[in-house]
Amino acid sequence: MIDQFHEFGEFGEFGEFARLHVRGAGFVMPNAWDAGSAVVLAEAGFPAIATTSAGIAFSLGRADHSVPAGSPRVSHEEMFQRIRQITAAVDVPVNGDLEDGYGARPEAVAETIRLAIEAGLAGGNIEDHAGGRLYDEALAVERIIAAREVSPGFVLTARTDGRLLPSPAPLADSIRRANLYREAGADCLYVPGVNDLDTVATLVKEIDGPINVVMGLGATTLTVAALREAGVARISLGGSIARAALGLVRDAARELQEHGTLGFAARQIPQAELNALFSK
C-alpha cells in the first residue's frame, strides 16, 4: 500500500490507523454516538471505531442536520464535546464524522482538522456538500488541500455526497470528484449512497485510492465478506447502530404500553457486566 498511501513512517501517532487502510483489507469500523457505545464497540474487538453525527444528534434529541432541511443542527461545540468524550473512553483509533468541516471556506476546514487532532481523533471525514447542494468543485478541492496541510499524518477521508442528493449525481461525477480529492491529498475516499455490489466494484476499480463503503444506509444486501472480496478498504456503519438502539427503545415502549410485558429486557446487558466494562 506504500504506492497508494503515504509512507507509513510519516504518520507518527496516526500510523496504527493509517495501516488499517490497506486496499482490500476491508476492516470494519462501527460508529459510536457516546462514550458508552464507544466502549461497547471497542470491547467487541474492532480495530477502530468512528463517530456518527446522526447518532450524536439523535442522542441529543435533534434531527440529523441535513434531514429535514433547516432543522436545528448540533453545534460545533456540542459535537466536539461528544467527540472528546468518545476518544477519551477508548484506546483504539477513532475516526470523526466532521460533516462539511463546519464552514465553507478552506480556512474553516483547516481549523476543524486542528480541533479534531486536539480532540484525539486519528482521522476524519470531510463532506463536500451543505444545505442540500455540492460545493463548487474547485472550492471542494481547495478545502481538501487545506485539510491536508494541517497534518501529513491525520487520516483524511474525502466524502462526496452527490449520490445522496434529491436528484443523484451521475456516478461518473462522484468518481471524478473522488479522484480530484485524492490528488489533493485525501487518504481515503467515500461515496455514500451506493448500495449494490456492482457499483461498489466500479468505485474500487475507478477510484485511485482506498475507499470507504457504508453499510446500513437504506435497503441493502451488502455483506462484509462481499465488500472485502470487492476490494473495499474500510467498512463503516454510519448511524445504523444508533438507529437500531433507538428502535429497541421504541419497541420497548410499545410493548409496555400495549401489553405491559418486558420481553425486550431479555436482550439487555446485565448490570454487573456493564459495571465491570465501564470501570476499566
**pLDDT over 60 (residue 63):** yes
How many CA atoms within 13 Å lie on the side-chain side of 71? 13
Q: In sequence order, which ranges of the chain are alpha helices (DSSP H)?
A: 15-19, 35-43, 53-59, 76-89, 106-118, 137-150, 171-184, 197-206, 224-230, 240-258, 271-278
Distant-in-sequence, close-in-space partners of 230: CB < 8 Å, separation ≥ 6: 197, 200, 201, 204
**Which pTM value belongs to this model?**
0.93
Closest listed residue to residue 101, CA positions, set 31, 34, 148, 67: 148
Q: Kindly report, residue by residue over 87-97, the tens digit of the pLDDT.
A: 999 999 999 99
Say which residue the cell 405491559 belongs to.
260
Percentage helix, strand, coil for the chain under 3-state DSSP, each rounded to 5: 50, 15, 40
pLDDT value of residue 3: 40
pLDDT of residue 72: 78
**For the segment 145-164, what is each residue's pLDDT rounded down to a tens digit?**
999 999 999 999 999 999 99
Whether residue 7 is predicted with pLDDT greater than 50 in this model: the reply is no
126's grid cell: 470531510
Q: How many angstroms separate the CA atoms of 222 and 47, rounded? A: 21
Q: Please say if the pLDDT value at position 115 is more than 70.
A: yes
Q: Structural domains in the chain?
A: 8-239 (3.20.20.60)
For 79, residues 6+ apart whose C-beta sits below 8 A from its C-beta are 53, 56, 99
What is the distance between the alpha carbons of residues 218 and 4, in angstroms, rounded to a whole number? Answer: 30
pLDDT at 67: 60
Instruction: Kindly report the backbone phi and psi dihedral angles of residue 212, in degrees, each rounded to the nearest multiple of 5, phi listed first.
Output: -105, 135
